[in-house]
Amino acid sequence: MNLRQRPVAARGGATNLPRPPPLNSVFNIIPVHDLFTDHPSLRYPEVRAAAAALRTVGDLPKHQFMRWEPEMDLLDWLRLLFGFQLDNARNQREHLVLHLANSQMRLEPPPVIVDALDAGVLRRFRRKLLHNYSAWCSFLGLKSNVLLSRRRDPTDLRRELLYVSLYLLVWGEAGNLRFTPECLCYIYHFMAKELNHVIDEHGDPDTGRPYMPTVSGELGFLKSVIMPIYNTIKVEVDSSRNGKAPHSAWRNYDDINEYFWSRRCLKRLGWPLNFECNFFGTTPKEKRVGKTGFVEQRSFWNVYKSFDRLWVMLILFFQAAIIVAWEGTTYPWEALEKRDVQVKMLTVFITWSALRFLQSVLDAGTQYSLVTRETRWLGVRMALKSMAAIMWTVLFSVFYGMIWIEKGSRPIWSDAANQRIYTFLKVVLFFLIPELLALVLFVVPWLRNVIEESDWKIVYLLTWWFHTRIFVGRGVRQALIDNVKYTVFWVAVLASKFSFSYLFQIEPLVAPTKALLNLKNIRYKWHEFFNNTNRVAVVLLWVPVVLVYLMDLQIWYSIFSAFYGAAIGLFSHLGEIRNVTQLRLRFQFFASAMQFNLMPEEKLLSQQATLLKKLRDAIHRLKLRYGLGQPFNKIESSQVDATRFALIWNEIMITFREEDIISDRELELLKLPPNCWNIRVIRWPCSLLCNELLLAVSQAKELENESDWSLWLKICKNEYRRCAVIEAYDSVKYLFPKVLKAEKEEYSIMTNIFGADKNPRADEILYLMQNNEALRVAYVDEVSLGREGTEYYSVLVKYDQQLQSEVEIYRIRLPGPLKLGEGKPENQNHAIIFTRGDAVQTIDMNQDNYFEEALKMRNLLEEFNAYYGIKKPTILGVRENIFTGSVSSLAWFMSAQDTSFVTLGQRVLANPLKVRMHYGHPDVFDRFWFLGRGGVSKASRVINISEDIFAGFNCTLRGGNVTHHEYIQVGKGRDVGLNQISMFEAKVASGNGEQVLSRDVYRLGHRLDFFRMLSVFYTTIGFYFNSMVIVLMVYAFLWGRLYMALSGIEHAALKNATNNKALGAVLNQQFAIQVGIFTALPMIFENSLEHGFLPALWDFLTMQLQLASLFYTFSLGTRTHFFGRTILHGGAKYRATGRGFVVAHKSFAENYRLYARSHFAKGIELGIILIVYAAHSPLARDTFVYIAMTISSWFLVVSWIMSPFVFNPSGFDWLKTVYDFEDFINWIWYPGGPFKKAEHSWETWWYEEQDHLKTTGIWGKLLEIILNLRFFFFQYGIVYQLGIAGGNNSIAVYLLSWIVMVVIVAIYIIMAYARDKFATKEHLYYRLVQLLVIVITVLVLFLLLEFAHLKFIDLLSSFLAFVPTGWGMISIALVLRPFLQTTKVWETVVSLARLYDLLFGVIVMAPMAIVSWLPGFQSMQTRILFNEAFSRGLQISRIVSGKKSV
């Protein structure tokens, strides 16, 4: 049966397919439906015990209108009682039996009665499964409806089973509502209450008959409970316009869930559900419940709002550092000894209170829509916080002013003035009381956890002022030891950062600032609006320094994390065996080491062992774990361990051969030969023995005069040599008698080649199912019912070996279409109900696994039982092995960067920082912990586009613990082509942009302690924000230099060179980040740790020769563009990269479409700035100074423009360059239309490129216009430098220059009008118009050159002045598109934009064409791209020439 073509469900007609097996005979893992079936699983008494416990229905009241069968159990009883689906009950029956049986099997010591369900097993499971429900009840002040007697009543076992089964049935049929865990708690709460009424045989108050639940009947639960809430979510999602509407305009999964965090849900919704409640989607939009808990507003202010404590620290230190540096003392502490400086330092409290006011305004401005009649106290708190912040600001300002008034003009400080200082400090003490309390709670973290997790009203009243009471983010403090570790880490980082910032950024810039402020009588080269001050120049001088100051904490974090991560790895013995010599030394200890590491830890300690024996075993395990001494034993052939080790080792080597890691010859050299022929020692692999036998013979010849015993002792000093001699002797001894009797035998090998069907995907899945009996496939089936609509089902199938076809195991109806949010988490959510076991592993499709690593999975699962800090893990992080690094140089760069993150980076995140999240890697989840807390990912549309990391956010906020383990790894394939890599980085950067807006990040920034908050910021959105800041710094630096050069300030201040030190520090840090040094540093440390320092250094140098810096700088632009645009305008979306081995040539048009706005336009802008600056700056006359100041900026320009072609296979092939240019021209001029694709038409692509402007808000449009105003500065600055201006600084010069722009646009309009009117039928007239325009233009230029002092060089300068102006006008017109699109102006805008893209394309292609024309560059480029492949003998020409597109 084809997986894509399903027969219609029961309502459909009959089919001609083979008759399926009876319903009850199909099972998943164990046949729970028939305990008398001959199945291996039923031989275990624990399985029979769990299944028997479910059959204890006994005297439970039966449903009055449902038929009861004798073979039914508790799950059937609940199904009939509440209207659950049959397959849901079948699925959860096996789920429950499997878990209870497995848990009972693991009991140590085993229970006395093995064929009865142990009450402790069930109790522990119930507590874990319903822990979130119990916490929810406590949070809302509700009494839990899980009613169990404190005494161990035997009847409680059945009742406890009913509670557990009810929750699993609710969860199993909830569909998309599994993303709303507290909504499920609400449903379960009332269903458990009704269950209690039925069990306790309460009467119905209305009829007097036995109580029956309000929800029952066929599909009763799905239709009466799940579907109404699901339809509400669907209504909200439909109103989101596919995620393009502002997040504040519709409710996502989190809003629906957080509605159940307050008691108003109990009053409004009730039970049975009140469908008149304004919670449901049937209520009109204006009367419906709005956002709940948090409002996601699109603004850059979110970075400050979520991490305000970080920015307060940076701003206050910056202010204090300027105050100290302004005094000009040799050392900062000398300035601090002055009373004037001490008093000035008090202004930081004025700033601090002002920043509190800013935070309160941002909170009120973004969260005001949360304030309703029911949440009026939230509005009261917002207003009071703003008023309190204003009060503190005014109070500090008044007391500060009083200090200086009292001091007056006296040179010394009087007692009265000092008394006012003390008064100010008393006010500061009251201001700092909340911070001091927070410090105390930070030092005593368990106390903070107790306070936050307690649900006493007094605690809520005391904490009401500081934060909103929410269900998550409570009790997230770590153990005291963990606090100390990450506090020491961050104190060291901050001390280094602030020391460097003061000495090399702030202090050196004070002197040039004073010089600029004191600079008088400047001869400005343009019309200066502020003649009496140079404050604009001072601001432009400081902006790049301030930007670097705000972001360089990221660099210091990278440095310290690299050192710390390498130290942890060193003590963890990573990379100890990195060559054959070390392998030979340690190989003989592998068997005992493997026995220790692969055996479950609890098996190593016998329960009957004495205390002394247990102590010795514990010490022995510590030695083994940490490599103390030589506790491992050598292996001999007489030991059973040697045989076990040989079997495992050989299986690993065979797997290596199957994966083509080693060759047949290498396999024979590495295998452990079987123990036979009565050989007395282990038969080591030939690769280890090498020529040891020959060396022994040679040694015997040299020592022939010594005794045999002496010779043997010397041979035995080398273990491998001793074994080689004994093996040779025993082999000859055994074989010699056999030689004469040997026969020659013949062997034949046959292989079958299987064909493929016309539907390869489905056939491949069927093939996997057929050959892997344990494989199950879950999919969503859509069944069309004609006019009645469509039904959706979650279906689980397996391959039946007897029927030789696939069969359905379970079919559970869904409330509607599966995909309401993001696709991947929705798919995970639908399939998770079919998973089994205590843990679930999330494996991406681009990942691989290894046999030898699979052997360690049991060890990994044992980690769930160990404490890491004060908590057990809830997510076990696993490292990855990137196996695509050898495809090309780009793949190597990506592999090296990713490897450093999944090893050293995550190592530090887990220990000491305690902020490792989930990153879409093969992490293992505590399944039952996440089952009741929203699942293994989040799915809200767009905001959760990076769905995986939100699982980590959710885990951290709900009190989970994420660890990282490097003794096990899985394989992973990364993108190998530049376009693939760029699309992947665009997706991740856009996802981080959405994270900035999310409630999860906001709560992490406010609920974690200060140092963990720093860790979260700099390892998530901070990395992307700081990447953007460094690019903004380049812009600020270049625009500032251009301003000073064109204004004349730079010429006047030329003699003042004291700012070189600070600017040098800025430029060095910019270049360090730009070329990826802070990305490469962890990579170098990790490679040094695992491969040695010299190989790591050589790899780094090789990467630089292969232009890795070019790639990292290009990636910097990708991250900056998409991160910034997403925060400003939105537009995040999933970008499918394919993850294939793409090494084919990409056309110029395709590269232009991908990078025109993110890289090419920005690179051209920076290039124009550098050219104009070189032409008008007096510093440019000193070539060395100019190069030193601009080399990093020029490198950025070159990388942004040339990287797509440098890393494009055959990118410098001349014929391909010619064909690409023709294709680009055709694409530019191809007409657009509603049915044209972007890859065929420029116009279609151009409209799609501006889609983000259609969905952005008013603030986004306003900021976009403000940013685009910078392009008009070129014209303003350059026109005054032209000869035709004659040195006139009047504003009229600039205004008259607009005549040129008007004339240029008029000429274009005339030419376009003539083309449309005459080009087709009256071509002669069209040529005449062209001639007239050309003649007039040439005549005007001649007159200007002859009589108006216009120089020929001024024409080029004018081009650099007016082209940016035109681009700025087009960019602003795009923002105003709704107003202009219906006018004639829009056609001109489109036509001019087409010309600009043509111009940009020519500019970008020009250097590529020159390089392509020159000989030798093509072969050099291919060698750079595929150096590793060349070394493996790969024929690159076949790869890059195998497609027509080449």
Q: Which of 631, 707, 706, 642 is nearest to 673 (CA)?
A: 642
Mean confidence (pLDDT) of the chain:
84
pLDDT band at 1085 (very low <50, low <70, confident <90, very high): confident
Is the overall model pTM greater than 0.85, yes or no? Answer: yes
Q: Which two tokens stand for residue 836?
A: 């089994």
Give the DSSP letter of residue 399. H
Average pLDDT over residues 50-76: 89
Select the more confidently predicted residue: 153 or 489. Answer: 489
Residue-level pLDDT at 244: 87
Per-residue pLDDT reduced to its tens digit, 162-208: 999 999 999 999 999 999 999 999 999 999 999 999 998 888 887 88
Per-residue pLDDT reduced to its tens digit, 576-590: 777 777 777 777 677
Select the more confidently predicted residue: 1089 or 269. Answer: 269
pLDDT band at 1166 (very low <50, low <70, confident <90, very high): very high
Residue-level pLDDT at 18: 40
Q: Which of 86-100, 232-246, 696-710, 1045-1059 has the lowest mean pLDDT?
A: 1045-1059
Average pLDDT over residues 406-414: 86
Residue-level pLDDT at 1047: 87
Alpha helices in 847-904 (DSSP H): 851-854, 857-862, 889-900
Average pLDDT over residues 265-269: 91
Cβ-based neighbours of 437, under 8 Å, separated by 6 or more: none
Question: From the CA atom positions of the chain, what is the Rg in Å?
Answer: 37
Q: Which two tokens stand for residue 1093?
A: 């320092």
Residue-level pLDDT at 1098: 87
Average pLDDT over residues 395-420: 91
Is the pLDDT at 4 greater than 50, yes or no?
Answer: no
Cβ-based neighbours of 244, under 8 Å, separated by 6 or more: 1130, 1254, 1255
Cβ-based neighbours of 1311, under 8 Å, separated by 6 or more: 1329, 1330, 1333
Residue-level pLDDT at 88: 96
Give the DSSP letter of residue 176. G
Residue-level pLDDT at 1170: 93
Average pLDDT over residues 352-376: 91
Q: Which H helix or E strand runs over 926? A: strand 924-926
Highest mean pLDDT among 249-258, 444-453, 465-474, 1249-1258: 249-258
Average pLDDT over residues 990-1013: 95
Per-residue pLDDT reduced to its tens digit, 1101-1150: 888 888 888 998 999 999 999 999 999 998 888 777 666 666 778 899 99
Query: From the centroid of its chain, how far is CA 933?
Result: 20
Residue-level pLDDT at 709: 78
What percent of the chain stands above pLDDT 70? 89
Is the distance from CB of 306 to CB of 996 less than 8 angstroms?
yes
What does each C-alpha distance from 967 to 146, 217, 1013 come to in angstroms?
42, 52, 29
Cβ-based neighbours of 1407, under 8 Å, separated by 6 or more: 1201, 1202
Beta partners for residue 965, in sequence order: 878
Is the pLDDT at 1437 greater than 70, yes or no?
Answer: no
Residue-level pLDDT at 1255: 82
What percent of the chain stands above pLDDT 90? 43
Highest mean pLDDT among 584-588, 856-860, 1150-1154, 1313-1317: 1150-1154
Q: Which two tokens stand for residue 1106?
A: 């292969």
Is the distance from CB of 1067 to CB of 1038 less than 8 angstroms?
no
Cβ-based neighbours of 1044, under 8 Å, separated by 6 or more: 537, 540, 1050, 1053
Is the pLDDT at 368 greater than 80, yes or no?
Answer: yes
Is the pLDDT at 475 greater than 70, yes or no?
Answer: yes
The domain ranges of the chain are: 40-286, 294-469, 648-738, 762-987, 1256-1382
Average pLDDT over residues 1315-1330: 76
pLDDT band at 1072 (very low <50, low <70, confident <90, very high): low
Distance CA 555, CA 500 (A): 12
Is the pLDDT at 789 greater than 70, yes or no?
Answer: yes
Residue-level pLDDT at 944: 92
pLDDT band at 1443 (very low <50, low <70, confident <90, very high): very low
Distance CA 1253, CA 1157 (A): 14
Sheet containing 805-813, strands listed edge to edge, beginning at the edge strand earlier in sequence:
777-784, 790-800, 805-813
Per-residue pLDDT reduced to its tens digit, 208-255: 888 889 998 889 999 999 999 999 999 999 999 888 899 999 999 999
pLDDT band at 621 (very low <50, low <70, confident <90, very high): low
Residue-level pLDDT at 895: 85
Residue-level pLDDT at 887: 78
pLDDT band at 755 (very low <50, low <70, confident <90, very high): very low
User: With helix as H, strand as E and coil as C, how does 689-711 read?
Assistant: HCCHHHHHHHHHHHCCCCCHHHH
Residue-level pLDDT at 932: 92
Is the pLDDT at 571 greater than 90, yes or no?
Answer: no
Q: Which two tokens stand for residue 26?
A: 């199909």
Select the more confidently predicted residue: 1230 or 1349. Answer: 1230
Residue-level pLDDT at 533: 64
Average pLDDT over residues 472-485: 92
What is the three-class DSSP state of 1195? helix
Distance CA 754, CA 773 (A): 19
Q: Which of 209-213, 762-766, 942-946, 1003-1007 has the lowest mean pLDDT?
A: 762-766
Is the pLDDT at 610 greater than 80, yes or no?
Answer: no
Residue-level pLDDT at 628: 55
Residue 869, burial from CB neighbour count under 10 angstroms (0-12, 13-18, 19+): middle
How many alpha carbons fall within 13 Å on the CB side of residue 287? 7
Give the DSSP letter of residue 1156. I
β-strands 839-841, 805-813 pairing? unpaired
Distance CA 1002, CA 942 (A): 17
Beta partners for residue 877, in sequence order: 964
Per-residue pLDDT reduced to its tens digit, 886-915: 778 888 888 888 888 888 889 999 999 999
Select the more confidently predicted residue: 1409 or 1435. Answer: 1409
Distance CA 144, CA 1413 (A): 79
Is the pLDDT at 507 greater than 70, yes or no?
Answer: yes
Q: Which of 446-460, 490-504, 827-841, 1305-1319 has the lowest mean pLDDT?
A: 1305-1319
Is the pLDDT at 1093 greater than 50, yes or no?
Answer: yes
Distance CA 827, CA 331 (A): 62
Per-residue pLDDT reduced to its tens digit, 30-53: 998 888 888 888 889 999 999 999
Q: How many residues does the chain have?
A: 1446
Average pLDDT over residues 1420-1444: 57
Is the pLDDT at 21 greater than 70, yes or no?
Answer: no
Residue-level pLDDT at 348: 96
Residue-level pLDDT at 63: 82
Distance CA 1202, CA 585 (A): 50
Q: What are phi and psi of 197, to 5 degrees?
A: -60, -40
AA letter at 762: A
Per-residue pLDDT reduced to its tens digit, 314-329: 999 999 999 999 998 8
Q: What's the CATH number for 762-987?
A: 3.90.550
Highest mean pLDDT among 879-883, 1049-1053, 1282-1286, 1310-1314: 879-883
Average pLDDT over residues 1326-1355: 80
Residue-level pLDDT at 1442: 47
Is the pLDDT at 1064 greater than 70, yes or no?
Answer: no
pLDDT band at 620 (very low <50, low <70, confident <90, very high): low
